[in-house]
Chain A
Amino acid sequence: DIQMTQSPSSLSASVGDRVTITCRASQGIRNDLGWYQQKPGKAPKRLIYAASSLQSGVPSRFSGSGSGTEFTLTISSLQPEDFATYYCLQHNSYPPVFGPGTKVDIK
């Protein structure tokens, strides 16, 4: 199975900060990666698919990049509603595997 790691596991940031989260795959997965946001007690919501394509309705301050084994999710200017946990998902091959998550909280 492909293994996924994320860094950092958590971060504290202020409103307006630029935030970058990294996801790494144990082997190349082309651009077969999605990013999800989850708030406490809520279902995950997809933000990015195909590594860099923005899901319809998601604010443009979210962006994704990368291919192969290293990927990033960037929030250009953190907003109060962005405090949440973020997960990457590799969907290159069975079984699909999520990263362990990155919790973004208020500094």
Chain B
Amino acid sequence: EVQLVESGGGLVQPGGSLRLSCAASGFTFSSYWMSWVRQAPGKGLEWVANIKQDGSEKYYVDSVKGRFTISRDNAKNSLYLQMNSLRAEDTAVYYCARDDRYFDWLLDYWGQGTLVTVSS
């Protein structure tokens, strides 16, 4: 069974940093692109970033470019999102998601999410 478990969320001041983690199990982590998706309170879904199997390619939505960094450790079956220069508008539940093996940019399985609140 595919399992994705996020951690690392919390309350942070504007301009601060936070690192999210996602522990994957139930599949061969190193064979899949992986993504982060976020959802602001009461709002819709927004794709944030993804990373290739070996970490050699990374893509970001424009609103986080230069501030967020996605990375992975295949030996630990883990995905990360380093978030710097955080803004109030980054407040959201952040989901770790697995990219579909056969279709680019399509997501299949999701974790339960971790809440990031940016506020003074």
Binding site for B on A (CB under 8 A): 32, 34, 36, 38, 42-46, 49-50, 55, 87, 89, 91-101
Contacts and interface: CB of A to CB of B under 8 A. Distances in A.
Given A42-B112, A43-B111, A43-B112, A91 B106 contact: yes
Interface of B: 44-47, 59, 61-62, 95, 100, 103-113
B95 A43 contact: yes
A98 B111 contact: no
Contacts, number: 58
Nearest to B4: A43
Contacts of B107: 34, 46, 89, 96
Contact of A44 (B45, B61, B104): B45
B47 A101 contact: no
Nearest to A34: B106
Contact of A45 (B47, B62, B110): B110
B46 A98 contact: yes
A66 to B, nearest CB: 16
